[in-house]
Amino acid sequence: MKKHLFYSNQILWITLILAASGCQSRRGALQARGTAPATSASSTIPSISKEAGQKIVTSTGLPYWPPGPVYMVDAPTGFEKVALLPPLTSVPPMQVPPPLLNPPPRPFRLPKFSNEWVEASKSWMGTPYRVGGQSRNGIDCSGYAAQLHLDVNKTALPHTTSAQRDISVAIGIGTFQPGDLLFFNTQGEGNPTHVGVYLGERMFTHAGASSGVTTASLDDSYWASRFLGARRINR
């Protein structure tokens, strides 16, 4: 038993001596290369590590010996920079759709109220649009306005939007009456290019280029943004 303890103590002492010798050898080698590890976690981080095995203190305060060179500021010679995104000049221009000059086609909706102008317009609903037309085979906006006034008031109106504007009198929004002429700018100009006939309750009837004879509302965003005003025919 005593002999066993003796040999155990001898092995322990030999192990400790070898471990101490190895640590001193490693420290001596690092000192010979001028890269001895610092004893403080606040050591200055070099701007560039040229050799492997140099100590770097991380943000956590723990030392780290990288296995190879670490470039912390400058890239190595010959490093190729690759653009991740193409320059803005190579981006194709945005395609902006042209402004909508004609209203989108909508099925006509008859007013829920009735008067002589509403009744006169019913027989014209669905009539196709035709420039210069004055019949149920085809009619344009000013021709349709003239036909309604002829049917209801027996009043003959000229067959152009500008002439109908010239013979009528401007009225305020709060004074609209059935039969008043409503003028719109649908071609991006200052002058009226379209005319309709007011029916009541902010609804009007007109002959649209894409819809033919139909009804619409002054609250529709298309017509509200192109509305120029209302005028009345003096009888």
Strands 212-217 and 203-208, how do they pair?
A: antiparallel
149 catalytic residue (yes or no): no
141 catalytic residue (yes or no): yes
Q: Which of 4, 149, 159, 194 is the catalytic position?
A: 194
Q: How far apart are CA 208 and CA 101, in angstroms?
A: 11
Instruction: State the Cα angle at 185 between 179 and 189, rounded to 5°.
Output: 150
Owner of token pair 């590890």: 37
* Token pair belonging to 200: 């009541």
Q: How far apart are CA 70 and CA 62, in angstroms?
A: 17
Strands 63-64 and 56-57, how do they pair?
A: antiparallel
Question: Please, which residues have CB within 8 angstroms of residue 12's CB and are 6 or more apart in sequence?
Answer: none
CA-based nearest residue to 229, from 188, 176, 187: 176
Q: Which of 23, 149, 159, 206 is the catalytic position?
A: 206
Q: Which of 23, 141, 149, 159 is the catalytic position?
A: 141
CA-based nearest residue to 125, from 211, 198, 190, 199: 211
Strands 181-184 and 168-171, how do they pair?
A: unpaired
4 catalytic residue (yes or no): no
Hey, which residues are catalytic here?
141, 194, 206
